Structures are given as structure tokens and as C-alpha cells.
């Protein structure tokens, strides 16, 4: 369970987050949605202790993120930010292997290597395993980074716009993989998404944010509503039901 209590954030005088309190139960896929500047990434960074907490408290399974040793948290939460400027000449398999660092401290035995191989296979990277990262396309590199975060084997997996750079097929596969991780392995997925339809199709829970505040929390059926979406995104879009699924026609 992730408990966020009265969290505010100020950066260079600008108020990024306003007094956010939110409890996310363990398990399932939770999507953070909202327009640019809503504070989704900032909130994710705070939860994953990548930025220092200014006010309020955040606890993950009872552990305060600002007071728990980083190496302990690294075995409970994995985070992938969107602005990864990885220019390293590492091979894909080596990068994914570093996901095991919190557990192995760098010594990969047979069991650890099997986990790395499984992660590589799961994200369809087998053919690329021996390639250097700087020879890959943006989408391939993104998949390698997601595989590394997955390979960390944590209860909580947090991804900031992981669909960036992915084509439709790999975007769909990634969302499917995350869904299976939540259903099959009981992992909790927390994901920032831009495309509201991906959130509607795959998430158990949608947190809609705007201007540093949480506007609404609910299931896809509750959130995918023309009035509510207009309040969040600031413009009117058509919402249709196709085959029992809510679809937002936001393009025109």
C-alpha cells in the first residue's frame, strides 16, 4: 500500500503539488493521467524517493520513503523515469543485469542470471542482448530500460510514460505485460500515461490530476466520462462505448 499524506512540492517558487493525500492499495495497475504540468511525474518521483520530500509523508508498505535506506527500498520499488539520457556503451544484457544489483550487489550467480535471461526474453530483447545501448533505436533502448526495472523484481514497479518511443505493437505488448505482472505475479504497477485510452483499457485504477491536485480517483468506468475529462484536460472530447469498452475520441 502506498500512503501519501499532505504532500506539497515547490520548485523554484512554483507550486508543483498542492497538499496531496492519496492512498493506493497494493496490487493492480494504477495509472496517473492528466495534462502537461499536472504534477504526475513529480508525484511519482517523490513516491520513488528520487526527489526529496518537502512537506507531508509518503509510506510504502509502512516504510517512510524519506527515512528508509535506499538499498532497502531498492528491493521493494523499481522506478523508470522518462528522461533517461543513457549514453553508455553497455550491452543490453549487462544493463538488464544491473537491475539485479539491489539483490546481488553485483555478483550474478546462476539463479540471478536465469532471472536476467527471463527478463530479456519477456521484453523481446533476446536478439539485441549483445548489442551496445548506443547502437539501439529509442524504442529498443526504452524496452531495455523497462526490462531492467522489471528485473529488479520488486513488489512495486513505477514507470513514467514508458510508452514514449514505443511503436503501437510494443506499446500494446508492454501494457499487456504490465497487466500480466499485476494479475499473475501480484505486482503493483504505478504508471504515468499520456494516452487516456491506454489507461482506460489496462488500468484498474485511474488517478486524474490537474495543476498539482488530484481531481478524481476511480475505475475506468468512473473516470472515463466526458464532463470529468473536460475538467481534467480542459477541453471537450467524445466518449463512446464500443463493445462494452469506453473509448475516448480525443483526436478531433
Partner 1 sequence: MHLCVGLALALLCAVSLFVGVGELSAGRLFGDPEQMRLMLVSRLPRTLAAVLAGAGLAIAGLVMQTLARNRFVEPATAGTAQSAEFGILLGVLVFPAASLAMKSLLASLAALAGTLVFLVIARRLPPQQPFLVPLVGLVYGGVVGAMVTFIAWRADLLQMIAVWTQGEFSGVLRGRYELLWIAAALVILAWWVADRLTIMSLGEQVSVGLGLDYRRMLLLGLAIVSVISAVTVVVIGNIPFVGLVVPAVVARLAGDNLRGALPLVGVCGAGLVLACDILGRVLRYPYEIPVGTVLGVVGAVIFLWLLARQTPHG
Binding site for partner 1 (CB under 8 A): 48-50, 69-75, 78-81, 84-91, 94-95, 98-99, 101-102, 105-106, 132, 134, 149, 152
User: How are strands ordered across the β-sheet holding 156-160?
Assistant: 77-80, 156-160, 188-192, 28-33, 205-210, 213-218
Name the phi and psi angles at 93, rounded to 5: -65, -35
We find the least distance from the C-beta atom of residue 74 to partner 1, in angstroms, to be 3
CB atoms < 10 A from the CB of 202, how many? Answer: 20
Name the phi and psi angles at 12, rounded to 5: 50, 50
The C-alpha atoms of residue 221 and residue 201 are separated, in whole angstroms, by 10
We find the least distance from the C-beta atom of residue 95 to partner 1, in angstroms, to be 8
Q: Which of 70, 43, 71, 36 shows the shortest CA–CA distance to 58?
A: 43
Nearer to partner 1, 31 or 79 (CB): 79
Nearer to partner 1, 106 or 243 (CB): 106
Nearer to partner 1, 101 or 129 (CB): 101
Nearer to partner 1, 48 or 128 (CB): 48
We find the least distance from the C-beta atom of residue 143 to partner 1, in angstroms, to be 16
Angle between helices 168-184 and 138-151 (to 10 degrees): 10
We find the least distance from the C-beta atom of residue 67 to partner 1, in angstroms, to be 14
We find the least distance from the C-beta atom of residue 218 to partner 1, in angstroms, to be 29
Nearer to partner 1, 17 or 73 (CB): 73
Name the phi and psi angles at 55, rounded to 5: -135, 160
Amino acid at each position: 500500500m502506498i500512503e501519501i499524506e499532505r504532500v506539497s512540492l515547490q520548485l523554484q517558487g512554483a507550486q508543483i503539488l498542492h497538499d496531496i493525500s492519496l492512498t493506493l492499495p497494493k496490487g493492480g495497475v494504477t495509472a496517473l493521467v492528466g495534462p502537461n504540468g499536472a504534477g504526475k511525474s513529480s508525484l511519482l518521483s517523490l513516491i520513488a524517493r528520487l526527489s526529496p520530500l518537502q512537506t507531508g509523508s509518503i509510506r510504502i508498505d509502512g516504510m517512510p520513503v524519506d527515512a528508509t535506506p535506499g538499498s532497502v527500498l531498492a528491493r521493494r520499488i523499481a522506478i523508470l523515469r522518462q528522461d533517461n539520457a543513457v549514453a553508455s556503451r553497455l550491452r543490453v544484457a549487462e544493463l538488464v543485469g544491473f537491475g539485479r544489483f539491489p539483490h546481488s550487489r553485483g555478483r550474478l550467480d546462476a539463479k540471478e542470471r536465469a532471472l536476467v535471461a527471463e527478463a530479456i526474453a519477456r521484453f523481446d530483447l533476446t536478439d539485441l542482448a549483445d548489442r551496445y545501448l548506443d547502437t539501439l533505436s529509442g524504442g529498443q533502448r526504452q524496452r531495455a530500460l523497462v526490462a531492467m526495472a522489471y528485473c529488479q523484481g520488486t513488489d512495486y514497479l513505477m514507470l513514467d510514460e514508458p510508452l514514449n518511443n514505443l511503436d503501437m505493437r510494443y506499446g500494446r505488448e508492454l501494457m499487456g505485460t504490465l497487466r500480466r505482472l499485476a494479475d499473475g505475479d501480484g505486482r503493483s504497477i504505478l504508471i504515468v500515461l499520456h494516452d487516456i485510452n491506454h489507461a482506460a483499457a489496462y488500468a484498474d485504477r485511474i488517478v486524474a490530476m490537474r495543476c498539482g491536485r488530484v481531481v478524481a480517483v476511480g475505475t475506468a468506468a468512473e473516470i472515463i466520462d466526458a464532463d470529468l475529462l473536460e475538467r481534467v484536460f480542459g477541453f471537450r472530447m467524445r466518449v463512446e462505448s464500443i463493445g462494452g469498452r469506453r473509448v475516448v475520441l480525443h483526436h478531433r
